[in-house]
Amino acid sequence: MILYFTAFAAAFHIYVYWKLCSAFGSGRWSLFFLGTFASLAVISLAHYFELIGNSRFFEIIFALAITEYVIVGMICTVLVLTEVLKIILCLWDKVKKTHTEARITPRRAAIFSLTFVACVVVYGHYEAWNVRKIHVTVPSYKLPENTERLRVVQISDVHIGGIYPARHLEMVMAMVRAAEPDIFVITGDLVDGDMTYRDREAALLAAHGARYGAFAVVGNHEHHAGLDQAIDFIERSGLTLLYDEMAEAAGITIIGLDDLTTVWPFHLQVPRERFVLLLQHRQNVMPTSVGRFDLQLSGHTHGGQIWPLGFFSQYFKISLRGFQNTGRVLYM
């Protein structure tokens, strides 16, 4: 997978390099551009195949490499869109006998692309740090007797081990504690790197303050980062890992499924007289799980993550966040 990704990244780097040279001319900066890509590609591949150590330094380099790929990918997307616009204007000029297409010069296209992507990146950084609480009320007659309400606080896709420092998690967990949860749940992709030396992060997670406990499931990134060490970190963090397992808390049943699970585990017999909370990383409702839960909490989509992924997803009517009342799935 990483090899295909790197080959694809190399292709759009070359395209962006060619378009920038057309706009500004070739020079030392263009060699620096390709050299930076080559260096980050080699380091990220070496880190992925564990040819170098899993220190914090190399985690940051790997995160910077992914960030650089994403930024250049966005620039490539905007440049391609400007080419499409030029083709449309060229056809328009032939019909109307005008010269509109000539206004989109290589330099103007490049300046617009760089400026637009810079604004998107700044806004994306702001969104990543501006964590917000979303309140959703789910009525149910199946709560335990004399229980007026049960507050479940969910976080998902924190990706500890990437470029975000521990203070980002500290901010998130402060919001969790402020919400005064009865139950605290994490719906996958908690980790994204080597967790063996993440004692501070483990302590932050352990201080969740939930009255009836904290539960977690694994996502696709736990498998990527190494499932054994990811599970060890989750357990060191004072979280109860539900790996195709069932637990009870505050009078409700909580079921957690592995991200690789594609059919309902036959050994999980669901007590229908209780409220059943299903934790599953991806928001897709498995056909075999229909009728077995009252509310599913998921993550994975990141709300679209970065432009233009969210735009294309909305165009094809793929929902990326919110509450899906049909099936009762809440995801972020």
Query: For residues 308 and 314, what is the distance between their CA atoms, to the nearest angstrom?
Result: 10
pLDDT tens-digit series, residues 295-322: 999 988 776 666 555 555 555 445 555 5
Q: What is the mean pLDDT of residues 194-223?
A: 92
pLDDT tens-digit series, residues 96-125: 777 776 778 888 888 999 899 888 888 877
Torsion of CA 148, 153, 154, 160, to 10 degrees: -160
Distance of CA 289 to the CA centre of its chain: 24
* CATH number among 3.60.21.10, 3.30.930.10, 2.60.98.20, 3.40.1130.10, domain 152-331: 3.60.21.10
102 Cβ contact partners less than 8 Å away, ≥ 6 residues apart: none
Res 32 pLDDT > 80: no
Per the prediction, the chain carries an average pLDDT of 82
Residue 272: its pLDDT value, please? Answer: 82
Higher confidence at residue 172 or residue 5? 172
Would you kindly state where each structural domain of the chain is located, as residue ranges? 2-129, 152-331
Query: For residues 14 and 251, what is the distance between their CA atoms, to the nearest angstrom?
Result: 58
Q: pTM of the entire structure?
A: 0.79
Residue 154: its pLDDT value, please? Answer: 95
